Structure 1
Amino acid sequence: MWMSSFEKVETDRLILREFIEIDIQEVHEYGSDPDVSEYEPWSPNTLKQTEEFVKRCIEYQHQKDRVDFELAVIKKNSNKLIGACGLHISDKEDREGWIGYAINKLYWRKGYGTEIAKKLLYIGFNEFKLHRIYATCDPNNLGSEKILQKIGMKKEGCLRKHMWCKDRWRDSLLYAILEEEYNQG
């Protein structure tokens, strides 16, 4: 059964919850940072773009037969919003979805990305009963690629020049994990 709303979920150090309007400023802290957006299809956000992102995330919460779950990442011990993550159901019939994440650079290299991605896989396979979950990353984004490997995803290949990104065609590495691989791990 597909959820239309999302109860907050917790990891050891984090809370993943729905976005609310007052999150805009903390989202803008990382969303406007050129280092955070370097490998993202979006450029450093203006405040207006950050407001539009948060508004879109809130609109997802009202989707009929919801397929987009874009969530705020909150550090438990400080209640600080440190990023965003998403689980998106790309094909209900074939039970396929994809994940993504962006984290404030002050929290890089501390294991938060892996913690987030593991929880997204758990939700995808256990709550949504997905068969396959995939993720893409820029070939130069070694940190993100390392996370995908750590959570058990297998590299399926390179999508050559498939995305127009920052005035150029960009390749993306494609990683995925199947339900049976996840359950064996």
Structure 2
Amino acid sequence: MFEACERDGFCLMGERLLLRDFVASDELSVHAFASDREVTRYTGWGPNSAEDTRVFLRGVLAQARSAERSEFNLAVVERDSGRLVGSAALRVTSREHARGELGYVFHREVWSRGYATEAGRLLLLFGFERLGLRRIAATCRPENVACARVLEKIGMRCEGRLRSHVFLRGTWRDSVLYAAINETAGS
């Protein structure tokens, strides 16, 4: 389960992680992973320049102040150390159809610690229990086996391959679509 907290803005608390709104002072921590070519290898952005990271932070800070918030781009922080180690996001893509999408990215130093799994579970619970979403989807590149494994661990099912889904670094790439359904929502 998760615990919602409203200290200095929005946050979700897990066993080892705190997912909270970004703050301007997160810039160096975000840039540490967002500028890493290996971390951004499968993303539709990056590796970030310093200006790219500043633009990202300005955007997520504005989203957090939105009266009708539909995007939750959150800093992932280790509860014990207080260190920002990644970013996790849940976006409501349709309020009418109760749909959302999730994603995450982590600093290479914390790969294989189960952080993506914990953050993904927190986002699914939040989306289903608090936002009332019925369907939450995610995509990953077919060759990103670690991401696919996380999506399956958090209860998402593979729904198929989207051919030529994204234009990434000069070439069209396929994506694999995953989704989780909240059978009790939207009846």
The structure 1 residue matched to 2:64, chosen from 49, 58, 61, is 61
The structure 1 residue matched to 2:151, chosen from 143, 148, 153, is 148
- 1:11 has 2:6 as partner: no
Match of 2:180 in 1: 177
- What amino acid sits opposite 1:70 in the alignment? N
Match of 2:83 in 1: 80
The structure 2 residue matched to 1:102, chosen from 99, 105, 110, is 105
Cα distance, 1:33 vs. partner? 0.5
Shift >4 Å, 4+ stretches: none
CA RMSD of aligned residues (A): 1.5
- Give unpaired runs (5+ residues) of structure 2: 1-7
TM-score by length of structure 2 reads 0.92
Cα distance, 1:181 vs. partner? 8.5
Cα distance, 1:6 vs. partner? 5.3
**Secondary structure in structure 2 of the residue aligned to 1:115:** helix
**Secondary structure in structure 2 of the residue aligned to 1:37:** coil
- Answer with 158-167 or 172-181: which moved more: 172-181
Cα separation, partners in 2 of 1:18 and 1:155, compared to 1, 3 Å: same
Cα distance in 1, alignment partners of residues 146 and 61 from structure 2:
28
The structure 2 residue matched to 1:137, chosen from 124, 140, 143, is 140
Match of 1:116 in 2: 119
- What amino acid sits opposite 2:49 in the alignment? T
Match of 1:90 in 2: 93
Cα distance, 1:64 vs. partner? 3.5
- Answer with 123-132 or 53-62: which moved more: 53-62
**Secondary structure in structure 1 of the residue aligned to 2:127:** helix
Cα separation, partners in 2 of 1:6 and 1:145, compared to 1, 3 Å: farther
Match of 1:33 in 2: 36
Cα distance, 1:61 vs. partner? 1.1
Match of 2:165 in 1: 162
- Give unpaired runs (5+ residues) of structure 1: none
- What amino acid sits opposite 1:144 in the alignment? C
Identity %: 37
Match of 2:5 in 1: none
- Answer with 70-79 or 173-182: which moved more: 173-182
Partner deviation per Cα, 1:82-136 (whole Å, 9 max, x = no partner): 0000000000000000100000010000100000000000000000010100000
Cα distance in 1, alignment partners of residues 101 and 42 from structure 2:
17
CA contact (8 A) 1:36 1:104 kept: yes
CA contact (8 A) 1:43 1:166 kept: no
